[in-house]
Amino acid sequence: MIEDAVRKTEEFLRKKLTGGEYLAAHPEALAYRLGHSYRVANIGRQIAEKEGFDADEMTVACLLHDVSYCETFGEDGWIEHGRRAARIARPFLQTLGLPEDRIEDICYGIAIHVDDRADFPGERTPFALTVQDADNLDRFDVYRLHESLCRDDFLAMGPEERETYLSGRLARLRELLSAPTASATAEKLWKERLGFQIVFYEKLLSQLRSGRGLA
């Protein structure tokens, strides 16, 4: 794929997201969605370069994985947004002159990235599954750690509630540590990111417990 296709995809993504009714009215949500899309694309490209996938095709796939946020979600909107994104992406991908099998692989990866389901037949290739891996890797990186603490209003919690919250987060992270990935590169990145969060929450929990009184 020529580099121009990546540039065209960026332009398409920005046009779709900025034209969305909800995102236009919520600039903070628009900024987050664009930033997330770029972070996922950069992660996907990193994996592709290590694993021997076409890096430009992976960049395009990851840039488009959340393009359906240009729509206003109704009931079940979030769970459907991967499949909706694939439907939006397909006509655009056809304008790039990609072979049909590559379009299918990209669209299938986009469609299944939320709940592992597509509404059309496809193959769970390592390329397709990497879109989900890249999305998950961004969701468990440092920014989302900060965002989670803010969203859950951690500072407003009482001492016992904070400890319960942190213990729950740690249990979930330890459970997710062994989640399958599509490549050795993604597995390495996954363990690094979750390992960092586990250490962070362990240290925070230990510090809070040390504030109960003298040892």
Is the torsion defined by CA of 6, 12, 16, 19 positive or negative? positive
Per-residue model confidence (pLDDT) at position 123: 96
Residue written as tokens 């990546």? 6
Average pLDDT for 146-163:
95
Residue 1, pLDDT > 60, answer no
Give the least confident one: 53-57, 76-80, 186-190.
Answer: 76-80
pLDDT in tens, 65-80: 999 999 988 767 789 9
* Element of type H or E holding 19: none
Residue 17, pLDDT > 90, answer yes
Residues in the chain, overall count: 215
Question: Is the pTM value of this prediction over 0.75?
Answer: yes
- The overall average pLDDT reported for the chain is 95
Number of Cβ within 10 Å of residue 144's Cβ equals 16
Per-residue model confidence (pLDDT) at position 26: 93
Q: How confident is the model at residue 163 (pLDDT cuts 50, 70, 90)?
A: very high
Q: What percent of the chain has pLDDT over 90?
A: 91
